[in-house]
Amino acid sequence: MDNTNAYLTNITETHRNIILLKIYDENNTLAAQSQNHAEKSLADPLTFPVTLHTLQTDSNTAQTERNWTLTVSVSYQSWLAYLRTITLDMLTIVVISVIFMTELFLLLIRGIDYIQDKKRRVSESAAQALQDPEQAQQNKGVSRTVLMRPLMFFVFFAINQSVSFIPLRMSELLSAQNIQNTVLAGLPVSAEMGMTGLSALIAGTWIKKKGIKLPFMSGLCMLGIGYFCSMLAVSPWQFIAARAVVGTGYGLTLLTAQAFTVKDGMLADMFSGAYAGMLCGSALGAMIAERLDFTAVFLISAVILLCFLPVSRLILKEEKQARQPEKDSLQNTAEENKKAALPLKKILPLLWDKQFLSFVLCNHIPFAMLCVGFLNFFLPVYLKSAGTAQSDIGRIFMLNCLLVVYSGPVFSSFVLKMTRKNNMVAAVGALSACALFALSMLPPLPGSLLGAVLLGTAVGLSISAQSEYFLELEICKKLGVDQSMSLLDVLQRVGQVLGPLCAGFALQTMNIDAVTKQVGLAFICISVLFLFLTRKHKPRAEH
């Protein structure tokens, strides 16, 4: 009967634990059952006869029959959970489909408009462009940069399909080698973030020397190869190396896309497409992983990225011919990169500036550590250990991204009206603490949902609050806007690399409740300390 119990349990698990199975003997006594037998039945069970035969082994043994009964019913709780999952999946698919078709429509419409405008300009007169090049440059018509938004939508759609389970895949590889180390589970995310920062630095010099096309296509190719290697990785170290390749390609692609679109004022348009891709990719990738597996998602991402290589080549194919008219623009870009470089003699005064150190140590780096450590590492591991469906984890990432996208502009106008930006910076830390406290006070799924909402709101607030406050510091006024923002980005990368490692170490040494409470209290303390240290800070005059 123990084997029969296990067999019945295996059947119910195959059917998502929706059915209840029980076997009764001829005396209507329960003989075997599935493990979910305690759940309430949705309706009266169906009954099927089960006949057990005693085989005749010799002439003295008569063949007998024992009539038992198998009952099959539907679990009420599991049926409701499955109905909820199906409903949410359908709604998610509807949202993804609308956004997906919108971006695909933009790609087709903008592509058609650009081709028609190009034919019109060619048919006019090439001689006129040679006689009056300045007028021809002003009448250049539809720019190729309008095609970057739909392209970056599909790129970020592919990249973010795996954002909700990178540490989970690493945990699987560690378990296969009998390694139980939570710190190591955060290494793929840290490697990806670290290589993103390094490749962004390389991309600036590469763009200046070779233009846009080669760095962008190289980054896109490395992204595809990185995801393909992530699928093939069979050891933890192979997976870490694969994610490092992904980070390198991500940094090259993103910075090149920014450089390509900023000269035509299409940077915000490009990021709109990128954020839309994040929304769709995080939810759909989690749904695919729940029904297939993690490696299937990596393969789909690799195929999408590599298939868009010809599209990117078509968009950037005129860059070689356009480099001569854009010579002045490239020179200006080189001068801006030179201005953004931060020499050592300017770094040393920062180490003695109280306002700068207060902001960096009490807010900027800790918040960057929390964002990546919480969302990219802690949240997937915590929810998976609580038995949460992978599709629900993906929807939480989708909701978080929605809040970042739509709360940022609202907070930006509000922060600009504030005279003391340090209060808004401290509010970022307070919201982060509340996000952590939600995990310790509520069950796993509601707590994670509320925590993701609060953290998404904090990120939306930090986009404007941190940059506005940072640029008002006297030391940053001396550095200049370019160098200050470059330094801010470098410090953020440092926090993003440290975040998963610190989260893994915390989970390795403490339980989840202790981690959330202590880290939440730490954010409260450093936010109060930040207000105390910056209480005499005077903002720059309003213009």
Model confidence over 513-523: pLDDT tens digits? 888 888 889 99
Can you spell out the DSSP letters for 96-143? HHHHHHHHHHHHHHHHHHHHHHHHHHHHH-HHHHHH-HHHHHHT--S-
Task: Using the predicted structure, report yes or no on whether residue 64 has a pLDDT greater than 60.
Answer: no
pLDDT in tens, 464-500: 888 888 878 777 777 776 677 777 777 888 888 888 8
Amino acid at site 2: D
pLDDT category of residue 256 using cuts at 50, 70 and 90? confident
Which of 98-107, 233-242, 245-254, 348-357 is predicted least confidently? Answer: 348-357
Best-predicted range by mean pLDDT (30-39, 225-234, 269-278, 376-385): 225-234
Residue 14: the pLDDT is 78
Token pair in block for residue 109: 């419409």
Please tell me what DSSP assigns to residue 428. H
Helices (H), 362-480: 365-371, 379-385, 390-417, 421-441, 444-472, 474-479
141-154: b (≥16 Cβ within 10 Å) or e: ebebbbbbbbbbbb
Structure tokens at 263: 């000269």
431-474 pLDDT, tens per residue? 999 988 988 888 888 888 898 889 888 888 888 888 888 878 77
Residue 29 has pLDDT above 50, yes or no: yes
- Report the pLDDT value the prediction gives residue 239, as an integer from 0 to 100: 92
| pLDDT per residue as tens digits for the range 171-221 | 888 888 777 777 888 889 888 888 888 887 787 777 777 777 888 888 899
Percent above pLDDT 70 for the chain? 82
Say which CATH superfamily domain 88-122+142-340 falls into.
Answer: MFS general substrate transporter like domains (1.20.1250.20)
> Residue 252 has what pLDDT?
87
- For residue range 330-385, list pLDDT tens digits in order: 444 444 444 445 555 566 666 677 888 888 888 888 998 888 888 888 888 888 88
- For the four alpha carbons of 71, 76, 81 and 85, in that order, the dihedral sign comes to positive
Cβ pair 21, 72 in contact under 8 A: yes
DSSP string, 448-470: HHHHHHHHHHHHHHHHHHHHHHH
74 pairs with which residues across the strands? 19
> Following CA atoms 218, 220, 225, 231 in sequence, which dihedral angle do they give, to the nearest 10 degrees?
160
- Residue 440 CA to residue 521 CA, distance in Å, equals 12
Nearest to 376 by CA among 156, 230, 167: 167
Q: What is the mean pLDDT of the chain?
A: 78
pLDDT top residue among 357 and 315: 357
Q: Which amino acid is at 75?
A: S
Contacts for 324-333 with beta carbons within 8 Å, 24 or more apart?
325/133, 325/137, 326/263, 329/263, 330/208, 330/211, 333/207, 333/208, 333/259
Higher-pLDDT residue of 305, 85? 305
Which H or E element spans position 159? helix 148-159
pLDDT given at position 543: 41
Give the position of tokens 């670290």. Answer: 194
Is the Cα torsion angle 489, 394, 505, 443 positive or negative in sign? positive
Kindly state the average pLDDT of the residues 57-80: 70
Is the CB of residue 529 less than 8 Å from the CB of residue 357?
A: no
| pLDDT value of residue 142 | 55
Stronger pLDDT, 393 or 119, i.e. the higher one: 393
Among residues of the chain, what percentage have pLDDT more than 90?
A: 7
What is d(CA 200, CA 195) in angstroms, rounded to the nearest whole number? Answer: 8
Look at 182 and 277; give whichever has higher pLDDT: 277
Average pLDDT over residues 269-277: 81
Q: What is the number of other CB atoms lying within 10 angstroms of the CB of residue 443?
A: 10
Q: Which of 53-57, 273-277, 432-436 comes out lowest in average pLDDT?
A: 53-57
Q: How far apart are the first and last CA of the chain?
A: 82
Give the pLDDT confidence score for residue 333 in this predicted structure. 46
Strand-by-strand arrangement of the 30-33 sheet: 30-33, 19-24, 64-74, 46-54
Nearest to 22 by CA among 77, 85, 75, 93: 75
Residue from 197, 242, 193, 198 nearest 377 by CA:
193
Contacts of 201 (CB under 8 A, 6+ apart): none
Calpha distance 196→188 (Å, rounded): 12
Note the pTM of the prediction, 2 decimals: 0.76
In the chain, residues under CATH classification 1.20.1250.20 are: 88-122+142-340, 343-543
- Cα(365)–Cα(370) distance, rounded to whole angstroms? 9
Q: What is the model's pLDDT at position 128?
A: 56
Burial of residue 162, with CB atoms counted within 10 A of its CB: 0-12 exposed, 13-18 middle, 19 or more buried:
buried
CA dihedral 154, 157, 158, 162 (to 10 degrees): 180
User: What sign does the CA torsion over 543, 262, 107, 463 have?
Assistant: negative
65: three-class secondary structure by DSSP: strand
Q: How confident is the model at residue 308 (pLDDT cuts 50, 70, 90)?
A: confident
Higher pLDDT, 536 or 422: 422
Assess whether pLDDT exceeds 90 at residue 286.
no
Contact 219, 253 (CB under 8 A): yes
Q: How many CB atoms within 10 Å of residue 428?
A: 27
CATH class of the region 343-543: mainly alpha
238 Cβ contact list (under 8 Å, min separation 6): 229, 232
